């Protein structure tokens, strides 16, 4: 490695682990490199930041954030959960099953994990604890199931990966569906086994609903349940681009929350807009600076050098994928999702191409790894949110998450070594 | 001074939320016109992109006021109280430097021939017009960071607008204590779970 490359990574890691915002750490590192090691004019930096966001697929990200905020403020998420309770609430482990299923549905309409944890956890954690599921089990399950939010499409990290590696975002969304559902089903199986063994949710103190209440809850939720069908069906059916589907998600959720459920007033709409613009700007600012950083990586020819070194080692595809998993599981403990993708995708991508690994498959593996990264301390957003909800310490939540995170890890290994799981729905 | 500040805050809010709202409205209009009436607005994709860019650079300023930019604070957990304070100042100064220097070169970029003489393909606007949120956004980020540094030096809360926790920032609230069972520090369930389950995972692995 050259002096420039070493400076680049040392600077990045020192800045990333201090109290500087991730976006500024990425940008400042790029500035240091461009200033000391190249003759590139410094006006190139703001120009790259601008061009980084200058693409139509990128516009899907703020629109999906906006749709998710409208949904959680407009009563859509509550109705999804109530319908789940009405359907399976009375079975053994019914509340835990409802939690997982609600997370899958909420994940299918929002691209964010912490948002899923808040929406489902606020209702389901107290309900589960009241009917005798342990506090640790309940909180851990919500934190883990919520992480499905970034794998099941629409998914913000998959959009970022698609832009970074020039892959079709529609294909990535298609590829993410089966692994996401597989992980969800495996979580459901775990819930069933654990509930049976410990006698959880046998009706004692469980939520009871009359027949009329059940029918009412089902009827209320029909409009909410249609939303994932519109978003995903629209993309898969070729009616919309992902950005247009995001716009439709905003439109539909606004109509339903303002005119049908009447839970969103015009006044609170301003609040929703402000909150969404803060949250999406935070993500997009990291992405812009992350793309600036990958521009610097390419200028220093680091991806090419790493590829050459890897090829010289005569790696098998499966040892490479195992290496990817090991690196990302460690990185996921310390790094935020979008920046991790923008730093590692340009490095892994050319190697995968050389080894004949499908780049769409690689994207799914990366996102699943970082999904587990949302559950690993010290930096795991789902842990923070779940700990805030339940009042348990972050470390205790981290411990409570271990069994369900282990299930996700098994799902990750299955998806890694059976490429057909991700490529099932993708053409060619 | 405080009135100027609140006017500026309002302006930032309106610019960010307004750009996002306009981008969303235009995107919705584009899809409806195409699917229902078969009409294509040739300029709408470009306009949506520039509105999203504007929402990003102005929104970043509000996110800074609310202390919502993600940072990975690991080094400071290794330090004592004093070291942590020093690191806090170093971080703010470096952030201030970054926003300042990029803001400066963003303004320089506005006056370069490439930005003045190039027009955007669909809207036919000069490039500097649609790039304007970059220098303005970075200038505001610089000013707000300087404000935060000033509050730190005077021993005040650097982020008076910030939510206390990530949970509140996500729009949630801590659950009612009465809804949760009494806290048992060594929950036997939790212990059993932690040792039981990985075995479960291995079984599936063997299959």
Per-residue model confidence as pLDDT tens digits over A280-291: 999 999 999 999
Contact residues, B window 75-104, toward A, CB-based 8 Å cutoff: 75-77, 87-88, 90-92, 94-95, 97-99, 101-102
* CA separation for the pair A320, A313 (Å, rounded): 10
pLDDT band for position A251 (50/70/90)?
Answer: very high
* CA separation for the pair A191, B41 (Å, rounded): 50
CA closest to B46 among chain A residues = A56
> Smallest CA–CA separation between A308 and chain B, in Å?
32
Residue B178 pLDDT: 61
Say which DSSP state A2 is in.
Answer: -
- Whether A22 sits inside 8 A of B69 (CB atoms) is yes
Secondary element (H or E) of residue A274: helix A266-299
Task: Say how many Å lie between the first and final Cα of chain B, rounded.
Answer: 69
| Residues B103 and B135: beta-carbon distance below 8 Å | yes
* pLDDT greater than 60 at residue B193: no
**Would an 8 Å CB–CB cutoff place B170 in contact with chain A?**
yes
Q: Which residues of B touch A389 (CB under 8 A)?
A: 167, 172, 174-175
* pLDDT greater than 70 at residue A254: yes
| Residues A131 and A97: beta-carbon distance below 8 Å | no
Per-residue model confidence as pLDDT tens digits over A109-168: 777 788 888 888 888 888 888 878 889 999 999 999 999 988 998 899 999 999 999 999
pLDDT band for position A376 (50/70/90)?
Answer: very high
Q: Pick from B92, B87, B67: which is nearest to B146 by CA? A: B92
Interface test with A, best of B197, B202, B206 (most A CBs within 10 A): B197
- Whether A46 sits inside 8 A of B109 (CB atoms) is yes
Q: Which residues of B touch A194 (CB under 8 A)?
A: 193, 197
Q: Which residues of B touch A186 (CB under 8 A)?
A: 204
Q: Chain A to chain B, count of Cβ pairs less than 8 Å apart?
A: 298
Per-residue model confidence as pLDDT tens digits over B121-143: 999 999 999 999 999 999 999 99
Asked whether the bond before A209 is cis by omega within 30 degrees of 0, the reply is no
Residue B1 pLDDT: 64
- Whether A22 sits inside 8 A of B166 (CB atoms) is no
Task: Say how many Å lie between the first and final Cα of chain A, rounded.
Answer: 38
Per-residue model confidence as pLDDT tens digits over A387-408: 888 888 888 999 999 999 999 9
* CA separation for the pair A83, A75 (Å, rounded): 13
**Would an 8 Å CB–CB cutoff place B183 in contact with chain A?**
yes
What is the three-state SS of chain B? Answer: CHHHHHHHHHHHHHHHHHHHHHHHHHHHHHHHHHHHHCCCCCCHHHHHHHHHHHHHHHHHHHHHHCCCCCECCCHHHHCCHHHHHHHHHHHHHHHHHHHHHHHHHHHHHHCCHHHHHCECCCCCCEHHHHHCHHHHHHHHHHHHHHHHHHHHHCCCCCCCCCCCCHHHHCCCCCCCHHHCCCCCCCCHHHHHHHHHHHHHHHHHHHC
- Whether A273 sits inside 8 A of B20 (CB atoms) is yes
Interface test with B, best of A12, A16, A22, A24 (most B CBs within 10 A): A24
Which residues have a Cβ under 8 Å from the Cβ of B98 and sit 6 or more positions away?
Answer: A24, A27, A28, A31
> Smallest CA–CA separation between A309 and chain B, in Å?
30
pLDDT band for position A311 (50/70/90)?
Answer: confident
Helices and strands: H and E segment counts in chain A: 20, 0
Which residues have a Cβ under 8 Å from the Cβ of A336 and sit 6 or more positions away?
Answer: A22, A286, A379, B70, B72
Interface test with A, best of B17, B33, B108, B149 (most A CBs within 10 A): B17
**Would an 8 Å CB–CB cutoff place B179 in contact with chain A?**
yes
ipTM for the whole complex: 0.90
CA closest to A21 among chain B residues = B71
* pLDDT greater than 50 at residue B194: no
The three-state secondary structure class of A21 is: strand
Angle CA A221–A223–A226, to nearest 5: 105
Q: Pick from A321, A384, A339, A423: which is nearest to A164 by CA? A: A339
**Low-confidence winner among A261-270, A278-287, A347-356 (lowest mean pLDDT):** A261-270
Cα A53 to chain centroid, rounded: 20
**Would an 8 Å CB–CB cutoff place B72 in contact with chain A?**
yes
Q: Which residues of A touch B181 (CB under 8 A)?
A: 129, 135
- Whether B52 sits inside 8 A of A284 (CB atoms) is yes
Residue B207 pLDDT: 29
Q: Which residues of B touch A135 (CB under 8 A)?
A: 180-181, 183-184, 187, 189-190
- Whether A388 sits inside 8 A of B174 (CB atoms) is yes
Per-residue model confidence as pLDDT tens digits over B24-37: 999 999 999 998 99
- Whether B76 sits inside 8 A of A19 (CB atoms) is yes
Residue A221 pLDDT: 86
Q: What is the mean pLDDT of residues B70-76?
A: 79
- Whether A62 sits inside 8 A of B23 (CB atoms) is yes
- Whether B109 sits inside 8 A of A43 (CB atoms) is yes
């Amino acid at each position: 490695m050259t002096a420039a490359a070493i400076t680049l990574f040392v600077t990045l890691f020192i800045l990333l682990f201090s109290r500087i915002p991730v976006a500024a750490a990425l940008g400042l590192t790029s500035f240091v490199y461009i200033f000391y090691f190249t003759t590139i004019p410094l006006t190139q930096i703001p120009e790259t930041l601008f061009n980084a966001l200058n693409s139509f697929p990128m516009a899907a990200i703020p629109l999906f954030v906006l749709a998710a905020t409208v949904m959680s403020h407009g009563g859509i998420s509550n109705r999804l959960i109530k319908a789940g309770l009405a359907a399976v609430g009375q079975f053994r482990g019914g509340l835990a099953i409802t939690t997982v299923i609600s997370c899958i549905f909420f994940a299918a309409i929002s691209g964010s994990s912490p948002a899923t944890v808040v929406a489902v956890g606020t209702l389901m954690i107290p309900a589960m604890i009241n009917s005798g599921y342990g506090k640790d089990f309940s909180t851990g399950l919500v934190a883990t199931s919520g992480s499905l939010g970034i794998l099941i499409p629409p998914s913000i990290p998959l959009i970022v990966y698609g832009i970074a590696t020039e892959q079709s975002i529609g294909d990535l969304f298609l590829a993410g569906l089966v692994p996401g559902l597989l992980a969800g089903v495996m979580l459901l199986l775990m819930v069933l086994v654990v509930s049976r063994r410990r006698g959880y949710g046998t009706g004692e103190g469980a939520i009871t609903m009359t027949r009329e209440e059940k029918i009412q809850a089902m009827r209320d939720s029909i409009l909410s349940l249609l939303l994932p069908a519109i978003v995903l069906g629209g993309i898969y059916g070729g009616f919309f681009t992902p950005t247009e589907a995001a716009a439709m998600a905003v439109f539909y959720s606004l109509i339903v929350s303002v005119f049908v459920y009447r839970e969103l007033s015009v006044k609170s709409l301003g609040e929703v807009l402000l909150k969404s613009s803060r949250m999406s700007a935070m993500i997009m600012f990291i992405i812009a600076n992350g793309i600036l950083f990958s521009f610097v990586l390419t200028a220093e020819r680091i991806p090419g050098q790493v590829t050459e070194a890897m090829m010289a080692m005569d790696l098998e595809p499966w040892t490479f994928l195992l290496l990817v998993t090991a690196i990302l599981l460690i990185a996921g403990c310390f790094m935020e999702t979008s920046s991790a993708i923008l730093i590692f995708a340009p490095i892994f991508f050319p190697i995968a191409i050389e080894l004949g690994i499908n780049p769409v498959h690689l994207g799914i593996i990366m996102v699943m790894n970082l999904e587990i990264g949302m559950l690993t301390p010290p930096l795991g957003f789902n842990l923070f949110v779940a700990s805030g909800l339940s009042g348990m310490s972050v470390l205790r939540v981290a411990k409570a998450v271990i069994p369900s995170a282990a299930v996700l890890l098994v799902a990750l290994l299955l998806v890694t070594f059976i490429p057909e799981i991700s490529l099932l729905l993708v053409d060619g | 001074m405080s009135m100027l500040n609140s006017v500026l805050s309002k302006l930032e809010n309106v610019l960010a939320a307004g750009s996002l709202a306009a981008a969303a409205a235009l995107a919705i209009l584009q899809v409806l016109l195409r699917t229902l009436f078969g009409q294509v607005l040739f300029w709408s994709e470009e306009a949506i992109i520039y509105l999203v860019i504007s929402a990003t650079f102005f929104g970043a300023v509000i996110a800074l006021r609310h202390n919502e930019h993600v940072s990975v604070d690991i080094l400071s957990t290794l330090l004592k109280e004093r070291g942590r304070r020093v690191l806090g100042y170093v971080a703010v100064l470096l952030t201030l430097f970054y926003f300042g220097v990029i803001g400066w070169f963003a303004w320089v970029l506005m006056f370069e021939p490439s930005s003045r003489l190039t027009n955007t393909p669909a809207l036919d606007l000069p490039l500097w017009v649609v790039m304007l949120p970059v220098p303005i956004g970075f200038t505001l980020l610089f000013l707000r960071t300087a404000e935060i540094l000033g509050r730190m030096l005077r021993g005040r809360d650097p982020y008076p607008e910030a939510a206390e926790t990530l949970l509140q920032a996500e729009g949630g609230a801590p659950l009612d204590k009465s809804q949760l069972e009494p806290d048992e520090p060594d929950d036997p369930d939790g212990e059993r779970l932690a040792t039981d389950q990985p075995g479960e995972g291995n079984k599936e692995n063997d299959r």
